[in-house]
Amino acid sequence: MNKKKIIYLIYDNTKTLIGALIIAILIRSLLFQPFYIPSSSMEPTLLVGDRIFVSKYIYGYSKHSFPFSPDVTNKRFFSKLPKRGDLVVFKTPADNRTDYIKRLIGLPGDTLQFINGELFLNDKKISRKKTLNKEIIRCGNFLLETDFFIETLPNGVQHLVAYKKKGSLQNTKKFKVPLEHYFLLGDNRDCSKDSRYLDSVGYVNNLNLVGEAKLIFFSNDTNISSLLKFWNFNKSFRFERLFKGL
């Protein structure tokens, strides 16, 4: 093979790789991005080991829509307002880099407070109905005995939440959501670092929204086996969660 052909092959392959990379970045930034769930803060809705697709265009675009959050603008373009009950991926206000996923409960101007273990939104108790069975769910390396409730938000959105059977959070101060900010909670209410913790998460700015979780496309129980231990894959793979809508 002569020198010209080698140079042409290198050029052609490089061009193909760059084109594929640009397409991948555009899809990831503008349409859908995969995320891995590493913690139990959203159980029972999302389990450790779930892989999800997040819609990037649903709330419009900010600098956090792109890899490494380039500091080129402090505006959101094609902005669309999130809805109460959405499963939102966002950059934590503490460092503007770490991705969290929580459920949006409070909109700008809302007040929220836990009183005697019940969640109050704008001084009205959020409706919740206890399911029949108590459940054991994770909290890091520990197991919690919890009660499951079907929580109904004012806009009619229903979802499962878990509260510790013993030692559940009872009372908090009243939170007032600032303008252009949101208040988000984990569904695993006693094992979630979320907007209740003002020093680490707190109120989430509209610019920090990355997207809305839409689909679980893969899930395996990492307590049983990692993907590298393929010989245990049939035991760890959660078939019932494959392509499950959120």
Among this protein's residues, is 219 annotated catalytic? no
| pLDDT surpasses 90 at 116 | yes
Res 231: pLDDT? 54
Confidence of residue 213 (pLDDT cuts 50, 70, 90): very high
Res 227: pLDDT? 54
Of 178 and 61, the structure prediction assigns the larger pLDDT to: 178
Among this protein's residues, is 168 annotated catalytic? no
- Residue 174 near residue 106, CB atoms below 8 Å: no
Three-state SS at 29: helix
Of 45 and 229, the structure prediction assigns the larger pLDDT to: 45
- The active-site residue, picked from 41, 65, 192, 225, is 41
Res 73: pLDDT? 80
Q: What radius of gyration, in Å, describes the C-alpha atoms of the chain?
A: 21
- The active-site residue, picked from 102, 164, 195, 225, is 102
- Residue 244 near residue 47, CB atoms below 8 Å: no
Stretch 14-37: mean pLDDT, rounded? 75
Instruction: Give pTM, 2 decimals.
Output: 0.86
pLDDT in tens, 118-153: 999 999 999 999 997 778 888 888 888 999 999 999
Residue that is written with structure tokens 């997207």 in the block: 211
Work out the angle at residue 10's Cα, subtended by the Cα atoms of residues 4 and 16, and round it to the nearest 5 degrees: 135
| pLDDT surpasses 80 at 4 | no
| pLDDT surpasses 60 at 155 | yes
Which residue type sits at 128? R
Confidence of residue 3 (pLDDT cuts 50, 70, 90): low
Res 119: pLDDT? 96
| pLDDT surpasses 80 at 226 | no
Nearest to 107 by CA among 209, 177, 204, 174: 177
Res 123: pLDDT? 96
Confidence of residue 229 (pLDDT cuts 50, 70, 90): low
Res 27: pLDDT? 64
Res 115: pLDDT? 95
Which residues lie closer than 8 Å to 161 by C-beta, 6 or more apart? 128, 148, 149, 151, 187, 188, 189
- Residue 212 near residue 59, CB atoms below 8 Å: yes
Question: CA–CA separation, 209 vs 83, rounded Å?
Answer: 12
What percent of the chain shows pLDDT beyond 90?
59
Q: Could you tell me the strand order of the sheet in which 118-121 lies? A: 124-125, 118-121, 111-115, 175-176
ω into residue 44 within 30 of 0, thus cis?
Answer: yes
